[in-house]
Structure 1
C-alpha cells in the first residue's frame, strides 16, 4: 500500500509537469505571432483528430462488447445528415442523441 506522502508527491509532480507543458506553449509562444503556414496547418487538427476519437465509439462501442449495433449506426447517419443539411452543431448533437435514445428505447 502507498502512504499519503507518496500519493501527494505523485499528485504534485504531475501538477508541476502539466504546468511546464502548458507554459511551454502559452508562456513562451503566447505573445508571438505564429507563421501563416503553421496557422494554416493548425486549422486541420480538429478535423484530423475527431474521426479518430468518434469512429471507435460508433464501430466498436464498449457497451455492446465491441460489436457494432444498429442504434449507433442510425444515430450516426441522422447526425451526419442534420449536420450537413442544417450546419448546426446543436442540431447535430440533438439529432444524434435523439435517434440513439429513441432506437434504444424502442428496441429494448
Structure 2
C-alpha cells in the first residue's frame, strides 16, 4: 500500500486545525481565574448553541421559513417539549419525539 504524502499532510493539517482551537483555550484558561460574571456567562454557551441548532432545524427549510402546518418536525417538537418540561427525562423526551414524528409522518 502506497502512502501519498499530500493525503497524509491533509490529514495531519485537519487534525491540527481541529485539535488546536480546543486545546489552546483550555490550557490558557486553566491557568487563569475567571471572574464570577465570566463563569455565569459561559454557563449559557451550551444552551445557546443547542437552541441555535434546534431552532434552525425546526424553523428553516431550504433557506426559507416554514409554516407550522406544513412542518412535521415543528409539530412533533410541541409534544416533545411538553414531555421534556413535565418529566425532565432525556430518555422520555427522545422517545416522545420519536413517537411524535412517526405518528405525524404516517398521518401527513
Specify the TM-score bucket, using the shorter chain as the normaliser. 0.7 to 0.9
Give me the whole-angstrom Cα distance separating, in 1, the residues matched to 2:95 and 2:105.
15
Pairing 1:102–2:100 present: no
Give me the whole-angstrom Cα distance separating, in 2, the residues matched to 1:45 and 1:27.
19
Pairing 1:20–2:20 present: yes
User: What does the per-residue CA deviation read over 1:1-26, in whole Å, with 9 as the maximum and x for residues that have no partner?
Assistant: xx932121111112123332222122
Aligned Cα root-mean-square deviation (Å): 2.6
Give me the whole-angstrom Cα distance separating, in 2, the residues matched to 1:20 and 1:53.
24
How many pairs are equivalent? Answer: 103
The 5 Å alignment of 1:1-108 reads: 4-61=4-61, 67=66, 69-107=70-108
Give me the whole-angstrom Cα distance separating, in 1, the residues matched to 2:59 and 2:21.
33
Q: What is the TM-score of this pair, normalised by structure 2?
A: 0.75
5+ long unaligned stretches in structure 1: none
Go from structure 1 to structure 2 and tell me whether the alpha carbon gap of 1:15 and 1:77 turns closer, same or farther (over 3 Å shift).
Answer: same
